[in-house]
Amino acid sequence: MTRAAGWLALGVLVAAPLLIVLGMGFGTATSGVPPVIPPWSASGWQGSLEAWGLVLSDPYYRDALWQSLRLAFITATLCLVLGFGMAMGIAAAPPARQFTWLALVLLPFWTGFLLRVSAWVGLLRDSGWVNTMLMKLGLIEAPLRLLHTEGAMILGMVHAYLPFAVLPLYASLARRDLTLEEAAADLGAGRWRVLFTITLPLAAPALAAAFLLVFIPAVGEVVIPELLGGPEALLVGRAIWQEFFQTLDWPAAAALATALLALLLLPVAAFQRLAAR
């Protein structure tokens, strides 16, 4: 019974929307409502491969995909390094204190996502807090361009996604067997040796999970690049958004979304093989 309900939920909430998006990629754009002619009708196949041809051949989309992967990679790597340090610190704290630290890590979720990103706009814009302070201290004459830069975009991404890296790393590090690290020290390994030969290799599954938990949603991120990034940041999430809402080319948007999904299945599959070992 529960099993059937589970499959029903999966079918309605996951499989059906995916199939609709997949099908839409083979449809034809039109100026009606909805602005797409489905690939199947009562009279049979009427779809086209035009959208897929466009998405796969036009360098505009290829660049958008590449830029997105690059941004997601930088974000995930930074989150991994910062998150590992934080998780190690929390796991080393006295048990009663650990809960407090974890609550602080999760505290940003109590405010809305848009609000948090907008706060960065307030901090970083030309008349914002950071520039005002720097000018009052006499360190700069004119406001620095902080907002709408790649730096601001990466800062916003890391800030938004860091908890997703901290939590799986903490869960793994808090449960680790500390006697292994003592044994390594006993056998002559210094602190960094212990970290690189014992702690990190044994945390590999958690490191991979934390990386993917940040990387996968970061690839399709729309809001943060839109608000904090520069106009040159043409990312795949933005491209899908534009095709869907501005040029109303639903088949191209659908084909792009499907391509992105297919691409993201690769690291997930790699992770599953790693975890199965």
What is the phi/psi pair of residue 47, to 5°? -80, 175
What is the phi/psi pair of residue 37, to 5°? -100, 120
Q: How far is the CB of 227 from other proteins (least distance, A)?
A: 43
Q: Whose Cβ is closer to other proteins: residue 102's or residue 207's?
A: 207
Spell out the residues 6+ positions from residue 111 whose beta carbon is closer than 8 angstroms to its own: none
Structure tokens at 103: 């609550």
Q: How far apart are CA 202 and CA 75, in angstroms?
A: 23
Q: How far is the CB of 273 from other proteins (least distance, A)?
A: 17
Structure tokens at 147: 């907002």
Q: How far is the CB of 202 from other proteins (least distance, A)?
A: 6
> In terms of DSSP bridges, do strands 44-45 and 36-37 run parallel, antiparallel, or are they unpaired?
unpaired
Q: Whose Cβ is closer to other proteins: residue 141's or residue 186's?
A: 186
Q: Is the peptide bond before 59 cis (omega within 30 degrees of 0)?
A: no
Residues that bind other proteins (CB under 8 A): 177, 179-180, 182-190, 193, 197-198, 201-202
Q: Whose Cβ is closer to other proteins: residue 162's or residue 203's?
A: 203
Classified as helix, coil or strand, 143 is coil
Q: Whose Cβ is closer to other proteins: residue 70's or residue 191's?
A: 191
Q: How far apart are the first and last CA of the chain?
A: 33
Q: How far is the CB of 17 from other proteins (least distance, A)?
A: 41
Q: Whose Cβ is closer to other proteins: residue 4's or residue 187's?
A: 187
Q: How far is the CB of 200 from other proteins (least distance, A)?
A: 10
